A and B are shown apart, each in its own frame.
Chain A
Amino acid sequence: MQFFAGARDDAFFFDLNRFNAIVSGEVTGFNEVGEDTFAGTNTLSIVVELPKSMLGTGAIGINPNAPTTPIYSIWVETKRKQ
């Protein structure tokens, strides 16, 4: 297993500003060439790498688009000390 924590380039890419303009009714659609709202920004990142074999097996859930392949369900939580 490998771990990393620190500043990295923001890995998300999306024209969020244009999407918000669409939702608010200012414009009707995206541009053919959009602008990555997150370009040039960093995030504090945690990266954990591990082989899937360490997670065990068994059907946690079903992906109806690939029903014969067992899946893991993954999410992350942020918690604040009370």
Chain B
Amino acid sequence: MKKNLYILPILFSILLFVQCTEEITDNSIIPNATCTDGIQNGDETGLDCGGSNCAPCEDAIGGIDFSGTYMQEDQVGRPAVSIVYITPGLRDAYNTTIPSELTANFQQDMQANLLLHHPAYSTNILGQDATAFSTLLSKDVLWVGQSGITTFYDGTNILTGRRLQDDVMDFHLLLLYGGADVNNPLNDGTNGQPLLIRDGVSENDKPFLANFPYLASPF
């Protein structure tokens, strides 16, 4: 370790030196940035725009430069779908896929993980076998009814939206472990069964606000 620490400053010195030398001798380096050279240089925030000398970039909003190309890195609709049902090594691919292509690419993986979590899975309260349930999960968008009651699940209405106070994970667990009969669910902790259909956390640690922005104040 000591040897490496000693070598690093030397390497940096060499790199800095080489860079200085090139600027002086290499004619391809343009020493003075201009707003018409077709290169993002100087303190430009986009190509030939922004910074202290050039005109503002056209797509700068509120002083923030949004120019350039942005690539999808993460996506989510329903809570906790990917972390429960997608194989860890596939999650980056899942998160960079647009929803319309998710089912074709990930339904089979989700079905396999569903059966890994609950090998005896047969059907759920929605009447879905493993294929139907994993197909529903795989297109990871949140359904919101254009009218009517908004809830993830309130005992009657199913997947018509999501309120902050909805115990969304208990509904996920009920669909995964609870079997077909909501009045006689499996894995409810009785009769020697493991407790798997509820996690024992039914509300947030801080009350939500009655008015905008609804989320509780930070710690």
Contact = CB atoms under 8 A, between A and B. Distances in A.
Interface of A: 2, 4, 6-9, 11-15, 18-19, 22-23, 28-36, 38-42, 45, 47, 49, 52, 55, 57, 61, 63-66, 69-82
Contacts of B164: 11
A9 B196 contact: no
A73 B141 contact: yes
Interface of B: 68-77, 79-80, 99, 117, 126, 140-148, 157-160, 164, 167, 169, 187, 189, 193-196, 198-206, 208, 212-219
Contacts of A15: 199-201
Contacts of B203: 13
Contact of B198 (A8, A30, A75): A30
A31 B159 contact: no
A14 to B, nearest CB: 4
Contacts of A9: 204-206, 215-219
Contacts of A19: 199
Contacts of A82: 68-71
Contacts of A72: 143-144, 146
Contact of A79 (B71, B160, B195): B71
Given A7-B218, A80-B73, 10 more contacts: A9-B216, A15-B199, A29-B194, A32-B189, A40-B219, A55-B146, A63-B145, A69-B146, A75-B140, A75-B141
A71 B69 CA distance: 31
B143 A63 contact: yes
Contact of B72 (A23, A31, A45, A79): A79
A40 B205 CA distance: 7
